[in-house]
Chain A
Amino acid sequence: MLHKIIGRYGLGLFSWLVVLYLFFPLAVLIAASFTASDFLAFPPSSFSLRWYARLAANSQFIDAAWVSVKLAGLATAISLFLGVPTALVLSRNRFPGRAVLSALFISPLLLPAIVIGVAILQYAHLLGFARTFLALLVGHVVIMIPYVIRTTMASLGGLPMNIEEAAQDLGANRLETFFLITLPQIKPGVIAGGLFAFIMSWINVEVSIFNSTAALVPIPVKLFNYIQYNIDPLVAALSAITVYVAFGVVFAIDALIGIDKATNGQG
């Protein structure tokens, strides 16, 4: 009897507990951010928005957030500009060396991020642009390109080619065909890839940390440095905001192409 019950409901119960394990730490941050007390506690004893107000008045965190927004925005634009054409060639053409090329573009995803950060620092050091916005920017573009290429290739893969052929038969040239026929159809995939890339830059520490200075520091690195010495509800408020952003982006990607598609084969 017990055996049957475990067989029937055990898996479901276990699975929901695992889901709880995945979500609970995020919920804890959100709950802790609304505390009125001066120290961090979960469950919080009282409700207030004072730590959010403190955060809004903290110029260091605001500056860091601004660095992150500029960095992620610019790096997203560049990685779309470089990644979409690459995806187009890789998915449409078969040529010798294609496998090597695609490995080159995808490999930043598979190699240790900290090593990419170190390599960029050392290289930038040789060329004289270490610890500058440019060094941060190129490092971020390198780690973002694979995300753009992958989602764009996934959307191109599901596209019937005969519509493009029809457009060309009707007299459109290649550029017109791309901008009027292909791009509108793969737009959700491209936007999702851009969002994916943006968030990977927005949360990155490993690549940024080597090229940051006291004056030029993206928000995750700032937070990382801050919590080495301070553990207070201010951190929880900032963390909670990043959780809200994460949910927003996940819902946006889900609406665009479906979250299961965007992450399929992610593992």
Chain B
Amino acid sequence: MRIGFWGAILLLAAPLAFMLAFFAAPFVAIAFNSLQDPDGGLSMSNYVRLVTDPYYLKAMGTTLSIAGWVTLITLLLGYPLAYFMVFRVRKRWLKRILYILVVTPLFTSNVVRAFSWIILLGRNGFVNDLLIWLHLTDKPLPLLFNKVSIIIGLAYIMLPFMILSVAAILQNLDHRLKDAARDLGAGPWSTFFHVTLPLSLPGIVSGALMVFTLCVSAYVTPSILSGGREVVMSMLVFQQYATVLNFSFGATLAVALLITAFLLLAVYHSARFAFAKARQMRGNHAA
């Protein structure tokens, strides 16, 4: 059933009004506030402070390096599992169980999932016990309340996103291309590196960008697992609003996070555009 012009207006009026009032307007409010200096005048002084103060630059550096490590780890762990789920698991019930195991952590709060790593990573925690038992170390390693625990915890939390994006692409991959490569004499590794991997690149890119973006703005996990010793951008935002009570500068930090997210989204969309174009060209070529 097509919806007429007035029908569509009627249906969209309330949702659109809601989004403009409680989503768009608040963003305008913080953007405006970020441009206010302490005297109430308009200036870029908050932004100048952000990019010149070494404290904030260091926090930005920490944030980006954590996001980079987490993206790499989730890719290395997630890709093989996604490949296994899509190509190797034949039984429908098993595939379903794997999906449930991958998705369930997403339905649990980050607080709960980060908390679990406090139990596991402590000096006498399970991970250190395991490492000692395996003779990989003879005394407990400092794994908790530092950058290592933040990276492990975030990688754990982000992994399902990577698995789902790669699996979504692999699922729709043309199986005949793989078979063709095998028929033409390519070994399994060669087929993987020359056919499957390049074709799954869109899934890798979208998964990586999503994980990276979520890591840059993650607040709960880093603050639970940092033990106050590492500072990331989102923790600074919270600090400004909750303890320093400098709303303008808090807004500036928030806008900086927002701009980072927008830049990553722009990269994502141009990558998608490039992939779509490449596919179109291949299509023309085949025709």
User: Is A192 part of the binding interface, using a Cβ–Cβ cutoff of 8 Å?
Assistant: no
Residues of A within 8 A of B115 (CB): 29, 223, 227, 231, 235-236, 239
B134-175 contacts to A (CB < 8 Å): 156, 159-166, 168, 171
CB-CB under 8 A for A223 and B112, given A18-B77, A182-B1: yes
User: Is A256 part of the binding interface, using a Cβ–Cβ cutoff of 8 Å?
Assistant: no
User: Is A74 part of the binding interface, using a Cβ–Cβ cutoff of 8 Å?
Assistant: no
Are A18 and B112 in contact (CB-based, < 8 A)?
A: no
Are A82 and B120 in contact (CB-based, < 8 A)?
A: no
Are B100 and A239 in contact (CB-based, < 8 A)?
A: no
Are B30 and A119 in contact (CB-based, < 8 A)?
A: yes
Q: How many of chain B's residues touch chain A, expressed as a range?
A: 35 or more
CB-CB under 8 A for A11 and B101, given A85-B12, A142-B22: no
* Nearest residue, chain B, Cβ from A205: B220
State in angstroms the CA–CA spacing of A139 and B112 once bound together: 22
Residues of A within 8 A of B110 (CB): 203, 205
Q: Which of A120, A205, A267 contacts B109 (CB 8 A)?
A: A205
Are A141 and B18 in contact (CB-based, < 8 A)?
A: yes
Residues of B within 8 A of A21 (CB): 77, 156, 159
User: Is B258 part of the binding interface, using a Cβ–Cβ cutoff of 8 Å?
Assistant: yes
Query: How far in angstroms is the closest Cβ of chain B from A3?
Result: 10
Bitwise, A241-267 to B at CB < 8 A (1) or not (0) is 011011101110010000110011111
Are A112 and B116 in contact (CB-based, < 8 A)?
A: no
User: Is B72 part of the binding interface, using a Cβ–Cβ cutoff of 8 Å?
Assistant: no
User: Is B272 part of the binding interface, using a Cβ–Cβ cutoff of 8 Å?
Assistant: no
State in angstroms the CA–CA spacing of A82 and B21 once bound together: 14
User: Is A57 part of the binding interface, using a Cβ–Cβ cutoff of 8 Å?
Assistant: no
CB-CB under 8 A for A177 and B168, given A119-B26, A120-B26, A239-B112: no
Contacting chain A: which of B41-49, B193-201, B210-218, B279-287? B210-218
Are A243 and B206 in contact (CB-based, < 8 A)?
A: no
User: Is A53 part of the binding interface, using a Cβ–Cβ cutoff of 8 Å?
Assistant: no
Residues of B within 8 A of A111 (CB): 258, 261
User: Is B52 part of the binding interface, using a Cβ–Cβ cutoff of 8 Å?
Assistant: no
Are A12 and B84 in contact (CB-based, < 8 A)?
A: yes
Residues of B within 8 A of A264 (CB): 164, 168, 171
Contacting chain A: which of B2-10, B54-62, B176-184? B2-10
State in angstroms the CA–CA spacing of A27 and B116 once bound together: 9
Residues of B within 8 A of A202 (CB): 109
Are A22 and B1 in contact (CB-based, < 8 A)?
A: no
State in angstroms the CA–CA spacing of A142 and B23 once bound together: 7
State in angstroms the CA–CA spacing of A263 and B161 once bound together: 10
State in angstroms the CA–CA spacing of A202 and B98 once bound together: 24
Are B99 and A32 in contact (CB-based, < 8 A)?
A: no
Are B96 and A254 in contact (CB-based, < 8 A)?
A: yes
User: Is A215 part of the binding interface, using a Cβ–Cβ cutoff of 8 Å?
Assistant: no
User: Is A220 part of the binding interface, using a Cβ–Cβ cutoff of 8 Å?
Assistant: yes
Residues of B within 8 A of A239 (CB): 111-112, 115-116
Residues of A within 8 A of B108 (CB): 26, 203, 242-243, 246
Residues of A within 8 A of B113 (CB): 25-26
Are A40 and B119 in contact (CB-based, < 8 A)?
A: yes
Residues of A within 8 A of B162 (CB): 267
**Residues in A lying within 8 Å of B, measured CB to CB:** 7, 11-12, 14-15, 18-19, 21-23, 25-26, 28-29, 32, 40-43, 81-83, 85-86, 88-89, 92-93, 95, 101, 104-105, 107-108, 110-116, 118-123, 125-126, 138-139, 141-142, 145, 161, 164-165, 168, 174, 177-178, 182, 199, 202-206, 209-210, 220, 223-224, 227, 231, 235-236, 239, 242-243, 245-247, 249-251, 254, 259-260, 263-267
A-B contact pairs, 18 of them (CB 8 A): A15-B81, A18-B81, A18-B159, A21-B159, A25-B105, A42-B126, A81-B14, A82-B15, A88-B11, A113-B217, A114-B217, A114-B237, A114-B238, A115-B254, A122-B33, A123-B26, A242-B109, A259-B99
Closest 3 CB pairs of A and B: A267-B165, A112-B217, A119-B26
